[in-house]
Amino acid sequence: MGSDLTHTRKRMRRYYHGPVIKKTRAKVQFADLPDDLLSTILSKLPLKEAARTVILSSKWNDVWRVCPKLRFDGFTVCSDSVFGGEQYTQKFIDNVNAVMQKHQCMVVEELVIKFGFDSRVLGHINTWVAFAVSSRMESLALDLVPANSPGRTDQYRFPVELLDDGSIFRLRHLQLSFASLELPPQFSGFPNLRTLDLHLLQVTRNDLQDMLSNCINLEWFSMVRCHLNDELTVARPLSNLRYLRVAHCKITRIVLHAVELKTFLFYGRLYPIDLGHTPKLKHTFLNIYSLLTVEHALTVLPKVLPSVQDLTLHAHFTLKVCCFTLIFYHISPPLIFDHSLPIFQMPLLMENPCKFSQLKYLHLKLSIGHREAGKILSLASFLRAAPSVEKLEMHFSVLAFAHCVSEPIKSLPWCPHSYLKNLCITGFSGTTGQLEFLVHVVENAPALKILTIKGADSSGRDLDNEGKRRFTLKFRELERKYLHGIISPNVELRII
């Protein structure tokens, strides 16, 4: 911190053949900088670190307190107090009030309050919000999620009435956690809001829809555990929205139009979602809690995400097969039909016209029950629905026994995946279904360059060093029997 800031000073000297420029260094100490510039520099530090700078210069005793960005975190401010106690809460309140007093009549760009909701803080929050309004703030974050938030309904009521027209117009970033929101009549929205982060927000469907419809410049929107118990339909296009996250929300349906959307994250039970035309959608992460079938996934998802380039899907799947009996006829009469022959099961493949036409990277993390373990080959339908995929990652969580080499395996008709270059399978315990899927993909991927296999035990858990050694030997045996002749010698095989 005490190092010099240097600049070049040009000194002119005249000689008989013309002027010569000599470069010298002028020393400028940090302490020589004006207070407003020092405040800007110190505002980049966490509050606790900024406070420590007073040991460098007594002049900075008040400078660190005058920062355009104020961030108060209970763990940082009250680190030497017992968490959750009365002294802990009072120290936080006193600290916030003291710093705000220092900033009266000054511009504060950002105010962040991160403290577990406590009734003793309730009487001060409105005062802090009023301070933010008077300080011409552009960013406001009230993160009040308590440690025991599940089941609680005593959220802090956000005082929208304290926001004047100027603050509503200036606001760029808003975070509300463990709060309730009720919009006044004829609320005009936040016209310049760029990011909106809602967590455990109690709000009605109509108020949330009205607010979003009037955030015409919104670029980033996240809602976590916001339970509408109803549908969410945004009437106006969110033409600038690039990032959308919906997590653990009790909603029945989502309809919005986000033509610039690039990233979509979803956690929860699957329900109807309509994002409109999203030609720029690149990254999508889906963690589905509902029991999912391949048929439903490949019927719905390509319609909702037709342009996605990078798709990650975590789900618990049920897999289907079609059953048939091999029938043998004795050629010489009399004709005999043998009813004692076994019923065979073949994977049910989807021939769906809806496809992920732009998909390059597909990551599937699948939980499959032991009854489904023999039907894994039907997951080849995902590759049929993604003809341009270049990298496929499969993570299995399967409870089943390893394949017995003496048993036959099923195969599917030839279906080339011409662009697939990288295949990674983790959670591979060598079950028959996993082996069938591996063989099918490898023999249908002429451009394959890298094959990565990460072993697991029969419960799907990672292996210790001895387990890895035994797995490597076992996989080499499977490789010799099932992959020999169909895998190119140019493929790099990684067993990890």
Give the separation between CA 460 and CA 67, rounded to whole angstroms: 52
Domain boundaries, the chain: 1-60, 282-496
289 backbone dihedrals φ, ψ, rounded to 5°: -85, -25
77 versus 199: which is more confidently predicted? Answer: 199
Quick one: tokens of 144? 């009040």
The yes-or-no verdict on residue 333 having pLDDT over 70 is no
Residue 32 DSSP SS3: helix
What pLDDT shows up at residue 200? 95
The yes-or-no verdict on residue 202 having pLDDT over 80 is yes
Cβ count within 10 A of residue 201:
23
Residue pair 190/139 in contact (Cβ under 8 Å)? The answer is no
- Give the full edge-to-edge strand order of the sheet including 251-255: 230-233, 251-255, 273-274
pLDDT-based confidence at residue 407 (cuts at 50, 70, 90) = confident
- Tens of pLDDT, residue by residue over 84-97, are 567 778 888 888 89
Mean pLDDT across the stretch 360-380? 88
What pLDDT shows up at residue 24? 54
Region of poorest pLDDT, from 12-26, 244-258, 327-341, 345-359: 327-341
Give, for 394, the enclosing helix (H) or strand (E).
strand 391-398
Mean pLDDT across the stretch 7-33? 54
Give the separation between CA 250 and CA 225, rounded to whole angstroms: 7
The pTM is what? 0.80
Residue type at position 460: G
Residue type at position 277: H
What pLDDT shows up at residue 304? 94
Cβ count within 10 A of residue 325:
12
Mean pLDDT across the stretch 436-452? 96
- Mean pLDDT score of the chain, rounded to an integer? 82
Give the separation between CA 291 and CA 269, rounded to whole angstroms: 9
Give the separation between CA 231 and CA 163, rounded to whole angstroms: 28
The yes-or-no verdict on residue 21 having pLDDT over 60 is no
Quick one: tokens of 311? 């798709």
Give the separation between CA 375 and CA 154, rounded to whole angstroms: 48
